[in-house]
Amino acid sequence: MLEKVSDEQTVEILSARLEREKSAREQAEELLESKSRSLYQTNQALEKVAENLEGQRQQLNTILDHTFAGILLVNDRMNVIQSNKSANEMFGLKQDDLLDLKVFDLFERSDSISRLLKTKSKRNNNDTHFETNARSNDTGIFPVEVGVSTIEKNDGRHAMVWIINDITRRRREEGRRKQLEKELSQAQKLEALGTLASGVAHEINTPIQYVGDNMRFLAEALSDISDVMKLYQANATSQEIDEKSEEADLEFLMDEIPEAIDQSLKGLEQVAAIVKAIKEFSHPGQDGAEVVDLNETIETTLTVTRNQWKYVAEVDLDLADNLTEVPCSKSEINQVLVNLIVNAADAIAERKEKVLGKISIKTSEDNNWVNIVVSDTGVGMPKDVQERMFDPFFTTKDVGKGSGQGLAILYNIIRLKHKGDIQCKSDVGKGTSFTIRLPVSPDAVSQQEA
């Protein structure tokens, strides 16, 4: 049986319930106010973040648009989806041109680039650098340097960033630098020829002199023989012919004429060899590499420089048989050998000894490399000189006797132009030895680098 509630109790119950509801409403209002305040603060923070992001985006776009390099964003289907101002100017593009534009359409050798990227992808190499030719809608074909990096987007898909630099100016300056180097090399070679000129003239004068003496002897002999022949033609008596023959000394002439002719021919051959050597040495040569017999080149250089070393040294040749011919610039290798031989002669002359020194030249071959060793018994070099001998303009010779360019040019020719190697060993008072190594093929260089 339910207990009957009085009116007074009912009022109390309702009052308590009202208080609870009032308290709950106040708590809800406080919570709502707190949440609203927190939401407002969050919105304020998000607005600042969005404002910062927009500022950063604008700043990044400004940086990209003022970057000299062309920048392309490429999707996984090789479509260009974004480009900066430099790229648009470089390729002569407008924003509408990017629709359905494949990145390979911008380059001349698109197939090669595609294969290169696929190869790099298989090796999990995300960064690729190469040089190629690009196409511009405005200027046509031009050389570029390209760097490609792969990035992963938030959706898990991949994209690539292509950074492209127009290297037209660099190529032009490189061409100008190579031309200046070629002219400097040729000038240095002609300077060396000028230094050797008096010696070469002496080398030519000696055989020419005895050729001339022999020609005068032959002219006189021919005159004497002609006199005897005239007596025969005039049906002179045997006594007259014998007397004239004895006067002309025909027996002597018959012995000496062949020898005089032989000496003259050898002299002319010697002159021809010297002229040929000078011609080969002074010739500018081909722009690219030619296949060269280094043994023959060494002999040619010795002929040109003979007057520089013959008074101070003997030359000992040990040239390998069947030496493989080397792809190189013949004129530049001639120049290297002249520098080494003349320096060796100078080093021996500094000893100021009456006994002749020795210059040894040896060639050999191993593992697709050809070696040339030029050694001398000169004064040698101390360590401080060895450390600086390849520096431009460094010389130990007196003022006016050395420009300091010889070994610097030698280093540039062997190391930089021919991808070869040059080593020097020297002992003070004992002599110096230079070893030059030249690759027979590009594979030899790759193997050595590996």
Q: What is the pLDDT of residues 104-163, one digit of tens each?
A: 888 887 777 777 777 665 555 567 888 889 888 877 899 999 988 888 766 667 888 889
DSSP per residue, 63-85? HHHT-SSEEEEEETTSBEEEE-H
CATH (residue range 287-450): 3.30.565.10
pLDDT at 2: 46
Residue 89 pLDDT level (bands cut at 50, 70, 90): confident
CA gap 57, 381 in Å, rounded? 63
CA gap 281, 276 in Å, rounded? 8
Express each pLDDT in 281-331 by its tens digit: 666 555 556 899 999 999 988 988 888 899 899 999 999 999 999 999 887
Contacts of 339 (CB under 8 A, 6+ apart): 192, 406, 407, 409, 410
> Are residues 118 and 128 in contact, defined by beta-carbon separation less than 8 angstroms?
no
CA gap 130, 147 in Å, rounded? 7
pLDDT at 238: 83
Beta strand 290-292 with 326-328 is antiparallel
CA-wise closest residue to 193 among 269, 294, 275: 275
β-partners of residue 200 are none
Express each pLDDT in 34-81 by its tens digit: 888 888 888 888 888 777 777 666 666 666 666 778 888 888 888 888
How big is the CA angle at 149 (ends 146 and 153), to the nearest 5 degrees? 145
Domain boundaries, given as residue ranges, for the chain: 65-166, 173-284, 287-450
Express each pLDDT in 112-126 by its tens digit: 777 777 766 555 556
Q: How many residues appear in the chain?
A: 450
Q: Which CATH class is domain 65-166?
A: alpha beta
